[in-house]
């Protein structure tokens, strides 16, 4: 698939850099972007050389400033429901990808942009970033998972404040409430994102993947089912070659050489 709205770059570090490339529209999400993101996630999922993803936006003003309002305004109620479900499915695919993803938030992350960022495993924001769910100011609600992920990240009370006022927060406040993991100068954003992701990718790939799945299972299904999954996943991880290598490296006081098996 030839991309018109995104850039997909890979390197020898196992990281795919996925850039939403509509800077003249503040990287707003339209149907074309959604389709291309879905294709890119499929590539990342199937390519064993790709172990993690960084998502960012082109230009200095926006990560993703939201959905394409002109496109949304033309939708019938039935069409709007279909668009919402399609976006939810894409973002859930990203959220449950068995490879860690990181949102490098380089400016506005509003509406669908914040929903995209929240679907990533972690978030790093530039000092100038502003994050929010302003949908109520347009007479609609968040439709790509914002009403579900925001409370899980920042708690019910703060999520209600952000969702019901529609007011954005700056990067420092986003960090304080747990919405982003780090705040860095804009010039350091991609480097800091790569550094954080590299620290994750230095660990055993199967253990990383199972840890992500265990957290997601517990959050979605409750602690009892989460604990059962954790025990089963612990057994699987303990049977891997990587666990044997990890134990041996610890006892030998050397760096482990994991191979994902």
Annotated catalytic sites, by residue?
A: 115, 135
Rounded Cα–Cα distance for residues 61 and 73 (Å): 24
Nearest-angstrom CA–CA distance, 158 and 14: 36
Residue 258 half-sphere exposure, CB side, CA atoms within 13 Å? 18
Q: Nearest-CA neighbor of 14 among 261, 198, 227, 191?
A: 198
The candidate with the shortest Cα–Cα distance to 108, out of 57, 47, 153, 147, is 57
Phi, psi of 108, rounded to the nearest 5 degrees: -65, 130
User: CB 77: neighbour CB atoms within 10 A?
Assistant: 7
Other beta carbons within 10 angstroms of residue 46's beta carbon come to 8
Whether the CB-CB separation of 105 and 117 falls below 8 Å is answered with yes
């Amino acid at each position: 698939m030839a991309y018109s709205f995104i850039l997909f770059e890979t390197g020898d570090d196992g990281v795919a850099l996925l850039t939403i490339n509509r800077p003249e529209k503040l990287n707003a999400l339209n149907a074309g972007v959604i389709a291309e993101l879905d294709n890119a996630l499929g590539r990342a999922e199937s390519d064993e050389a790709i172990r993690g993803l960084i998502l960012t936006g082109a230009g200095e003003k926006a990560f993703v400033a939201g959905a394409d309002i002109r496109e949304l305004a033309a939708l019938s109620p039935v069409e709007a429901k279909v668009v919402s479900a399609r976006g939810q499915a894409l973002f859930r695919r990203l959220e449950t990808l068995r490879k860690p993803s990181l949102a490098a938030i380089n400016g506005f992350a509003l509406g669908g942009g914040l929903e995209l960022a929240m679907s990533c495993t972690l978030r790093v924001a530039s000092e100038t970033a502003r994050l929010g769910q302003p949908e109520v100011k347009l007479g609609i609600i968040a439709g790509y998972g914002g009403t579900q992920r925001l409370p899980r990240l920042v708690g019910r009370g703060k999520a209600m404040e952000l969702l019901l006022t529609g007011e954005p927060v700056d990067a420092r406040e986003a960090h304080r409430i747990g919405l982003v993991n780090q705040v860095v100068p804009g010039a350091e954003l991609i480097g800091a994102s790569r550094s954080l992701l590299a620290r994750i990718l230095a660990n055993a790939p199967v253990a990383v993947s199972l840890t992500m799945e265990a957290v997601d299972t517990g959050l979605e299904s409750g602690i009892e089912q989460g604990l059962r999954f954790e025990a089963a996943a612990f057994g699987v991880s303990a049977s891997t070659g990587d666990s044997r290598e990890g134990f041996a490296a610890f006892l030998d006081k050397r760096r482990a050489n994991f191979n994902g098996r």
